[in-house]
Amino acid sequence: SVLRADQIWIDGKFVKWDEGHMHVMTHALHYGLGVFEGIRAYRTHDGRLAVFRLKEHIQRLMDSAHICLMKMPYTAEQLEEACLELLRKQRDLFSNGAYLRPIAFMGDGAMGLGAVNPIRAVITAWDWGAYLGEKGIREGIRAKVSSFTRMHVNVNMVRGKISGQYVNSILAKREAVLGGYDEAILLDISGFVAEASGENIFMVNKKGVIKTPPLSSPILDGITRDTVLKLLKDSGRYVEEVTFTRDALYIGNEIFFTGTAAEITPVREVDNRQVGEGKPGPVTKFVQDTYFRVVRGQEPRYAEWLTYV
Ligand code: PMP
């Protein structure tokens, strides 16, 4: 299905969706120098629309640009406001929620790797359902450890969400899907579990210990990961941020992925080995339930994470 909406924000102006074009000489198209975000807005329990952790996402976008020596032509406040305004202009279209995609990239002008062209900025929004499917959210998905490796921290800038780096994720994702699986899990260069192609990973072992790879692993500093760490800690559960092996996943009781697009997606099978009972376990269910309550504004304790449109 083709995604579309009504309006796009391009370099400070709102244009019609069909007018969202760029020149073929756009530098980023050739070399991948772009930074982006994925942000969700949810319809809250009282019928309003709220963006989840907008500030943190825009801050990560600014940080990604800084890492890439890209001079962002807008302030964080301007980008936050543009995200909100884009949703306001399409309020009817997005009454059930929206996925926001801010992206900044090197525009056209000079070619070659040494070029320093003006940075362009775009924000689009569309209606995006469960990234790994409604059934995946309910029953869990099947994952495969990838033959592709998450790149070393001095190859990929792992604190950035950088367009070109996603070729690694796409290769892993397509390999997994072509092999009949739903998602790929990538290991780091030492063979320890890093993250999925577009999600962070958590596991619960047989002793009930919850683990997730540390930020010193080649993983994105996921905002959903951070949210889940807080929700678990606030509920009195301890989470170990440690590296672990792929076979720890095989013999674990529960595994789940976290990401803005994928939300909280249980993993019921890894490399054809059933995980635990083969269905979402109690920790996964707790995290899922709480997460969906938080994003829908039903947990006053976390109200500061919501920006109402
Ligand atoms: N890892 C990768 C590689 C991702 O692309 C994403 C999605 N942005 C995540 C993890 C999850 O990050 P977040 O929770 O901030 O969406």
CATH classification of the domain holding 196: 3.20.10.10
Give the rounded distance of the alpha carbon of 83 from its chain centre: 17
Catalytic residue among 16, 89, 161, 230: 161
Q: Is residue 305 part of a domain?
A: no
**Cα(208) to centroid(ligand 1), Å:** 25
Pocket test for ligand 1, best of 128, 161, 162 (most atoms within 8 A of CB): 161
Do 225 and 81 share a structural domain? no
The atom of ligand 1 lying closest to the CA of 37 is: 8
Enclosing domain of residue 233: 134-295
Q: Is residue 1 part of a domain?
A: no
Do 139 and 160 share a structural domain? yes
DSSP string, 226-255: HHHHHHHHHTT--EEE----HHHHHT-SEE
Do 241 and 266 share a structural domain? yes
Q: Is residue 154 part of a domain?
A: yes
Q: Is residue 307 part of a domain?
A: no
* Predicted model pTM: 0.97
Do 85 and 182 share a structural domain? no
As beta bridge partners, residue 121 has: 104
**Cα(178) to centroid(ligand 1), Å:** 22
pLDDT of res. 1: 64
Pocket test for ligand 1, best of 199, 227, 256 (most atoms within 8 A of CB): 199
Do 220 and 141 share a structural domain? yes
Residues contacting 28, CB < 8 A, separation 6+:
34, 105, 106, 107, 163
Pick from 126, 144, 168: which residue ends a domain? 126
- In 75-230, at which residue ranges do the beta strands (DSSP E only) sit? 97-106, 119-126, 141-149, 183-187, 193-196, 200-204, 210-212
Q: Is residue 188 part of a domain?
A: yes
As beta bridge partners, residue 132 has: none
Q: Is ipTM > 0.90 here?
A: yes
Q: DSSP secondary-structure letter at 160?
A: S
Q: Pull the structure tokens for residue 253.
A: 């009781």
Neighbours of 105 (CB within 10 A): 24
CATH number at residue 44: 3.30.470.10
Do 98 and 181 share a structural domain? no
pLDDT in tens, the chain (309 residues): 678 899 999 999 999 999 999 999 999 999 999 999 999 999 999 999 999 999 999 999 999 999 999 999 999 999 999 999 999 999 999 989 999 999 999 999 999 999 999 999 999 999 998 899 999 999 999 999 999 999 999 999 999 999 999 999 999 999 999 999 999 999 999 999 999 999 999 999 999 999 999 999 999 999 999 999 999 999 999 999 999 999 999 999 999 999 999 999 999 999 999 999 999 999 999 999 999 999 999 999 999 999 999
Do 185 and 63 share a structural domain? no
Do 138 and 69 share a structural domain? no
Do 161 and 88 share a structural domain? no
161 in catalytic set: yes
The residue whose CA has the least distance to atom 4 of ligand 1 is 198
Helix ranges (H only) for 73-129 are 76-89
Do 140 and 38 share a structural domain? no
Do 187 and 95 share a structural domain? no
Q: Pull the structure tokens for residue 180.
A: 């009949």
**Cα(36) to centroid(ligand 1), Å:** 11
Q: Is residue 308 part of a domain?
A: no
Q: How many domains does the chain have?
A: 2
Do 182 and 74 share a structural domain? no
| Residues framing ligand 1 (Cβ under 6 A) | 38, 161, 169, 195, 198-200, 220, 222-225, 258-260
Q: Is residue 70 part of a domain?
A: yes
Q: Is residue 144 part of a domain?
A: yes
Pick from 74, 109, 126: which residue ends a domain? 126
Residues contacting 85, CB < 8 A, separation 6+:
9, 14
Pick from 110, 126, 142: which residue ends a domain? 126
The residue whose CA has the least distance to atom 2 of ligand 1 is 198
